[in-house]
Amino acid sequence: MKKLLLIISILVLVLVPIGCAGNVIQSTIEDALEGLRADYTIEVGGTAGLNFSGRYVVVTAAYDPDTYVAFSTDSSDVSGNVSKQYTVEDAISVGGMFQKLSVDGTLEVEILKGGVVVDSASTTEPFGAVLVTAVKE
């Protein structure tokens, strides 16, 4: 994300003084953002029937004529029994925290991008929790 902000800052410093139209800046920023977006899948698994609760947060970004880039977040509270799957589209990044609601069993959480695991965590601790994050690089 820092790389994106650096690229946008450089583009603004170069393009604005030479009088480029706003459409060029907008197009450049939208192209950069498109290159950062990805679809992710969060898979919650582990011991069959294990009860869990959690929250995942999705960060998105879009062109804004006043600030050049407007970031927004959306969170979802989830719960149930494993195995569950949550799909996120066009995200800049995604992360989540999930907790076992029992003493026994294993909780396993993975974040996948295009079927490839980008982060994973597991716990066997009583009422244990895990944190997973993914940022497209």
Q: Which of 2, 75, 1, 88 is nearest to 38 (CA)?
A: 88
pLDDT value for 16 = 58
114: containing domain:
38-135
pLDDT value for 32 = 79
On whether residue 13 sits in a domain, the answer given is no
On whether residue 63 sits in a domain, the answer given is yes
pLDDT value for 26 = 80
CATH of the domain at 129: 2.60.60
pLDDT value for 82 = 94
Euclidean distance between CA atoms 61 and 31, whole angstroms: 12
For the entire predicted model, the pTM comes to: 0.78
On whether residue 122 sits in a domain, the answer given is yes
On whether residue 33 sits in a domain, the answer given is no
On whether residue 22 sits in a domain, the answer given is no
Contact 74, 86 (CB under 8 A): no
On whether residue 12 sits in a domain, the answer given is no
Q: Tell me how crowded residue 80 is: count the other CB atoms within 10 A of its CB.
A: 13
How many domains does the chain fold into?
1
pLDDT value for 14 = 59
> Which residues in the chain land under pLDDT 50?
none
According to DSSP, residue 92 is labeled S
pLDDT value for 44 = 98
